[in-house]
Amino acid sequence: MSVTADDARYEELVRGINQRWVAQPEAVRLVSSTEQVLQVVQEAASAGKRVSVRSGGHCFADFVYNAQTQVVIDLSTMNRISYDASRRAFCIEAGAQLGQIYETLYRDFGVTLPGGVCPSVGIGGHATGGGFGLLTRQHGLVADYISAVEVVVVDSRRRARTVVACRNASDTNHDLWWAISGGGGGSFGVITRYWFRSPDAAGSDPAAQLPAPPKSVLLSSVAVPWATLSEDQFVRLLNNYTDWYRNNSEPGSDALGLSGIILARQRAGGGMALVTQVDGGLPDAAGFLADYGAEITAGTGITTPFAGRPLAWLTASKLLPISAATSMMDPSLRSAIKTVWTKTGFTDDQLATIYQQLLRTDYSNANSFAQIAGAGGRMNELSRTATATAHRDEVLFAEFEAQWTSPAEDEANLTWLRELYAAVFADTGGYPVPGDRFDGCYVNNPDTDIADPAYNTSGVPWYTLYWGENYPRLQQVKKAYDPTDFFRHAQSVRLPS
């Protein structure tokens, strides 16, 4: 189906969740099958038209909606979820959203994928960028469960074709599977569907092909007003938090059943929330949670005990979309984000800088925040080159985000976010240069400034921050499967020179 500017649906279909980016394509093509995707891609390739691809519409940058796009391929109606007995894997189309996936997989089969907490994210981009969430410590990244993937690609003669790339090393398209398992969206072709299966799965029982989530969890949220937390206490809290994850991330440890997030809102938001989820099946889960809380708050003046609310896992997954206070479904939402993977945590000076930037009095937005999540565990089991996801040595993942609703507020919010991030990484050119302490940025939360030398003065290219040493191989896969650079955006993998 083709939606053009004279159609009442057009205005809704030329923008994603971030209202900073709106396109004016000739048409939005709503597709419902791989065959339709193939047809649309061939038409665009033959006509030399620029395409972009949407699954969930959660992109923080303008990769889908931009002035160059002539045709938007919208996969939102390709959202079927089924079990493929022939592959002993779950087939999930690229337009399916995380909330739908979690509910269907768990309700029908008792399994899940260890993805993010926002239910309206599309699996198409989430999985290919890695896919990080509260079950990642226990079960790894979503990309680690990609058994096969179907992709519409365009060859050197501008002929579209459909290929299936598999995890099996003997598969002729194995390199494409490797690239899609962490290489991010929009670089190689249109991902139409995935097959997900645990690498170590056996037998043919669907319930044994993906991990089972906890039967129940303890969900805890402790509020910490800024008025009760000095800079020194904030630094102590974050150091305690980092130390806990450094000491409790070995594969096989019961501690992997606990994942925490520190949500530190900008001054106008009043304070912090210490959010924790614990697998209710752990021995003395309540005591484990209480001990964790005591360890991370030691010496901070925080006296609120960590007591968890017992919930069924699926119920908890619906309660956990974590953002500053603006709904991610606000139709006027505007946002920007910057991220960092860290192997050892922030320095004391960096933590003091975060505190100071969050409490600035010349800027006020309750919907701006720093969010720091525990990582490690099974996401670090694979080598840095086993898939395109290079971030395999991590203890924490942090993001700094601003959300607002008026175009008149763009400058103030972008300035605050840029100044915060530049100050935190002032010693390394404004960005978390990969090394002993930091490990670059997360491609699933793209940063529009990362390739701009006005902001990234580190001398480290944006693609190294995203993919580390895996980028040259990604370029070779690009050359093999998209030799004309038909699929591209501002931060897509480039063809080798």
Judge whether 240 and 373 are in contact, CB under 8 Å. no
Give the whole-angstrom CA distance, residue 358 versus residue 345. Answer: 18
What tokens appear for 13 in the block?
A: 């279909």
| pLDDT score recorded for residue 251 | 83
Give the whole-angstrom CA distance, residue 284 versus residue 4. Answer: 58
| pLDDT score recorded for residue 416 | 98
| pLDDT score recorded for residue 336 | 97
Taking CA atoms, 439 is separated from 60, 80, 382, 423, in Å, by 21, 36, 16, 18
Element at 301 (helix H, strand E): none
Nearest to 337 by CA among 324, 321, 327: 324
Strand pairing class (51-54; 71-74) = parallel
Nearest to 470 by CA among 182, 190, 185, 189: 182
In the numeric block, the tokens 């009043």 are attached to 270
In the numeric block, the tokens 């680690």 are attached to 144
> Would you say how long the chain is, in residues?
497
Judge whether 78 and 31 are in contact, CB under 8 Å. yes
The low-confidence residues of the chain, meaning pLDDT below 50, are: 323-326
| pLDDT score recorded for residue 324 | 40
| pLDDT score recorded for residue 329 | 60
Element at 108 (helix H, strand E): helix 98-109
| pLDDT score recorded for residue 320 | 77
Give the whole-angstrom CA distance, residue 465 versus residue 455. Answer: 14
What tokens appear for 285 in the block?
A: 């889960």
Taking CA atoms, 11 is separated from 3, 28, 62, 261, 337, in Å, by 10, 10, 16, 36, 25
Collect all residues with Cβ–Cβ distance below 8 Å to 136 and sequence separation of at least 6. Answer: 114, 259, 375, 377, 378, 379
Write the single-letter amino acid at 240: N
Average pLDDT, the chain: 96
What tokens appear for 201 in the block?
A: 């799965």
All structural domains of the chain, each given as residue ranges with its CATH number in brackets, are 1-213 (3.30.465.10), 216-467 (3.40.462.20)
Judge whether 117 and 101 are in contact, CB under 8 Å. no
